[in-house]
Amino acid sequence: MTETMTYTSLDQLPITLRADELAAVLGISRAGAYTLMRSKGFPDHLYRQANGGIP
């Protein structure tokens, strides 16, 4: 049985996420999460967006 976690802040997220967890956090499909994870620059571009565009 899988336990469902509820996060109220990005700071509460674990260092790594599975595709299904990433999809839930971002509000996208699991297929979309896999596509995102395979994209060039992942996860760097998400980190920069989450931190206010730090270069």
User: How far, in Å, CA of 29 to CA of 37, rounded?
Assistant: 12
Mean pLDDT of the chain: 80
The residue among 53 and 37 whose pLDDT is bigger is: 37
What band does 46 get if pLDDT is binned at 50, 70 and 90?
low
Instruction: List the domain boundaries for the chain.
Output: 18-50
Please give the model's pTM, rounded to 2 decimal places.
0.65
> What's the pLDDT score for residue 32?
94
Per-residue pLDDT tens digits for 18-28: 999 989 888 99
Q: Find, among 48, 50, 41, 44, the residue nearest to 10 by Cα.
A: 50
Instruction: Give residue-wise pLDDT tens across range 5-16.
Output: 787 887 888 888
